[in-house]
């Protein structure tokens, strides 16, 4: 069961510790700077303790696949305008194949089309190293257009995936929050 944690929870990390410099393969990730979640944010730990997902107070935890944690903010129509998810690595994804794996996963799972907008490898997350993509996809059912940041992050307890998504037409208004959620992702 999901249990919200205080964002100020230290989770065994030295808050003064600075992450190593970020190596981004694309200017699409020049914004990335690993660090603590903004003040007032909440957090959920993956079952098994492999990672901690931080989320803004405007979001609420939602039910997701077993072994995962998720939070979302709904719009006035009840549809998600911000979706954050963390899950343990479950397939054949690797840092080297993350770009192609993520797009193939989207197409195979529920997307009619998926486009890679940017990618980066060797990003220094809190507690691990990650490969990330920024992509757009359109769902088969309902033809909803989403834009997401998805990262595979390797830590001491194995690999985990963080997804930060929003409807494509909300990207400009939600982008900063999505980026902060990725910046504050903590692998243990």
Residue pLDDT, tens place only, 139-178:
888 888 999 999 999 999 889 999 999 999 999 999 999 9
pLDDT of 157:
86
Q: How far is CA 59 from CA 23, 112, 128, 143, in A?
A: 30, 28, 25, 24
CATH superfamily membership of 19-187: Mog1/PsbP, alpha/beta/alpha sandwich (3.40.1000.10)
Does the pTM exceed 0.75? Answer: yes
pLDDT of 8:
31
List, as one string, the DSSP characters of 158-172: EEEEEEEEEEGGGHH
pLDDT of 4:
32
> Two tokens at 184?
């504050």
Q: Residues 130, 123: contact at Cβ < 8 Å?
A: yes
pLDDT of 140:
85
Q: Spell out the domain ranges in the chain.
A: 19-187
Q: How far is CA 56 from CA 48, 136, 149, in A?
A: 23, 23, 16
pLDDT of 1:
32
Helix, strand counts (H, E) of the chain: 2, 11
58-79 per-position pLDDT tens digit: 999 999 999 999 999 999 888 8
């Amino acid at each position: 069961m999901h249990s919200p944690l205080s964002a100020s929870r230290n989770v065994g990390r030295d808050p003064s510790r600075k992450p190593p410099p970020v190596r981004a393969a694309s200017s699409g990730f020049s914004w990335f700077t690993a660090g603590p979640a903004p003040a007032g944010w909440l957090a959920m730990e993956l079952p098994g303790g492999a990672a901690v997902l931080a989320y803004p107070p405007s979001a609420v935890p939602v039910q997701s696949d077993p072994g995962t944690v998720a939070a979302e903010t709904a719009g006035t129509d009840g549809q998600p305008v911000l979706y954050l998810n963390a899950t343990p690595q479950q397939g054949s994804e690797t840092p080297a194949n993350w770009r192609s794996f993520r797009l193939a996963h989207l197409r195979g799972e529920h997307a009619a089309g998926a486009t890679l907008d940017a990618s980066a490898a060797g990003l220094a997350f809190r507690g691990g190293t990650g490969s990330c993509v920024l992509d757009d996809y359109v769902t088969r059912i309902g033809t909803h257009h989403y834009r997401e940041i998805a990262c595979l992050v390797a830590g001491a307890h194995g690999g985990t995936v963080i997804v930060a998504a929003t409807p494509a037409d909300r990207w400009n208004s939600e982008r900063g929050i999505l980026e902060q959620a990725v910046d504050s992702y903590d692998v243990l």
